[in-house]
């Protein structure tokens, strides 16, 4: 599961997301990713070069007074097998309100992302939309 390019890309991505607001208090390295700690919430970044069912055990979402205080972003390589996994397991992903899935080509520094919960609300058939997003980025 170790992919140095994807780990490096994720570190840069986390830091770049906070360039303006500068709200990150700490970034912790965990076994399969990072946790960025903010004053009122945290984001768990899980790195899965190749998605598998173990990802569902790692996804975390905690709600306190209707505010999500722990959310998860899953980062994977832009590969056909990862796209297939998302489509086949779509109903398992859409239950998490703030889950973000990012498909990355770290060599080209390109990405596409989707929030399954939101996308499910606006699209009846997920396959065509995901395939279009996938095709717009060079496969790794």
pLDDT digits (tens, 9 = 90+) for 57-80: 998 876 666 666 789 999 999 999
Of the candidates 17, 89, 19, the one whose C-alpha atom is nearest the C-alpha of residue 48 is 89
Token pair, residue 41, equals 């919430």
Question: What pTM did the predictor assign?
Answer: 0.88
Is the residue at 81 inside a domain? yes
- Give the span between the Cα atoms of 49 and 78, in whole angstroms: 9
Is the residue at 140 inside a domain? no
What is the domain count for the chain?
1
Is the residue at 15 inside a domain? yes
> Can you give the residue range of the structural domain that contains 43?
4-135
Is the residue at 12 inside a domain? yes
pLDDT at residue number 68: 66
Is the residue at 37 inside a domain? yes
Is the residue at 91 inside a domain? yes
3-state helix, strand, coil in the chain (%, to 5): 35, 30, 35
Is the residue at 55 inside a domain? yes
């Amino acid at each position: 599961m170790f992919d140095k390019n994807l780990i490096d890309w994720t570190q840069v991505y986390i830091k770049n997301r906070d360039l303006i607001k500068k709200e990150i208090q700490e970034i912790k390295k965990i076994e399969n990713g990072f946790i960025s700690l903010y004053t009122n919430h945290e984001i768990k970044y899980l790195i899965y070069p190749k998605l598998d069912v173990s990802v569902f055990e790692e996804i975390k979402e905690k709600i306190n007074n209707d505010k999500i205080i722990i959310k998860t972003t899953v980062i994977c390589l832009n590969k056909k097998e990862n796209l297939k996994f998302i489509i086949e397991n779509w109903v398992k992903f859409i239950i998490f309100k703030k889950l973000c899935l990012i498909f990355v080509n770290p060599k080209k520094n390109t990405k596409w992302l989707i929030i399954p919960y939101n996308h499910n609300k606006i699209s009846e058939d997920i396959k065509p939309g995901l395939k279009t997003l996938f095709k717009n980025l060079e496969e790794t």
